[in-house]
Structures are given as C-alpha cells and as structure tokens.
Homo-oligomer: A and B are copies of this chain.
Amino acid sequence: MNTAPTSQLDAIAALEDAGLRITGQRRQVIAAIQRRKGGFTAEELATELEGVGRATVYRTLKLLVGADVICKIVLPDGTPMYSPSRVEHHHHSVCTSCGAVEEFRDITVERVLRSLAREIDGDIIGHRMEFYIRCGACLAAAND
C-alpha cells in the first residue's frame, strides 16, 4: 500500500519535488498542521500563525492539498475543513459533534467505483465521498 507524506520532512520533500521553494512561512504552516494531527480550518491556522499572512496560509494549504499532504473535507453545512492525509487514496468520516476526522480506505468502496464506472455513460474523472457520523466518544458522552 502506498502511503502519503506523513512527517514534516515528507511534506517538505513533497513541496520540493514539485519544484517549490521551502520558505519559513511554509515550514510554519506545515509545523502547525503536524502539531494538531486532526481536522482544522484555514482560518484557525491563519489566526494561530501570526507571523504568516492569511493569503499565504491559503496558498500553502492549496499547495499541500495538491501534493496530497492534506485533504479538504466539506461538512454537511458546506463548511470546509482540512485534515492531514495518512493513506494515499482514502475517504473520510467526520464527527459532526466534535469534528474528529477519521480516514478509511475500503476496498468495497473501490469496488463500487469500478462498478459505477461501467454504468455511467462517460469517463469518471473523480469523486467526492464523505461520511458524517457521531463518533463513539460523542455517543458515549451523550449516554452519561
């Protein structure tokens, strides 16, 4: 199984591989992402990183999404969130209570994609798939 960049160094290498410069700001953004290890919003990051401009945060996030270092998730209400990628091709479940993001890779999902490819008139060039859940922890908390 292929793995996506996982550490600071991997993320930096991914940018280098794309012929991009490794700037102090980009390091800061990457470090901040690795520090959290969970879902986050662009605005959160921009607020946290006072030394990095808002535009730069958004620009860097976009680069990192393109390099598969992080991915962008859309909540049911349309709010975008970002989350570090651990597995190359994967989907997400997002807890709508606590915002926890889990990645999963399910061969069943891949199978469906292939079966749909046969049914659909045209070429499938991409897809979006997210599950909205109440995670175990939130359910447990609610039952106290």
Residues of A within 8 A of B (CB): 74, 76, 78, 80, 93, 95-96, 102, 104, 106, 108-109, 111-112, 115-116, 119-136, 138-139
Interface of A (DSSP majority class)? strand
Cα of A121 to Cα of B95 in the assembled complex, Å: 10
Across-interface contacts of A130 in B (CB, < 8 A): 127-129
Cα of A85 to Cα of B119 in the assembled complex, Å: 20
Q: How many copies of this chain sit in the oligomeric assembly?
A: 2
Cα of A116 to Cα of B92 in the assembled complex, Å: 11
Are the CB atoms of A109 and B106 closer together than 8 Å?
no
Residue A76 contacts which of B95, B115, B128 (CB distance < 8 angstroms)?
B128
Cα of A132 to Cα of B115 in the assembled complex, Å: 15
Cα of A123 to Cα of B135 in the assembled complex, Å: 7
Could you tell me the distance in whole angstroms from the C-beta of A118 to the nearest C-beta in chain B? 11
Across-interface contacts of A136 in B (CB, < 8 A): 121-122
Across-interface contacts of A96 in B (CB, < 8 A): 125
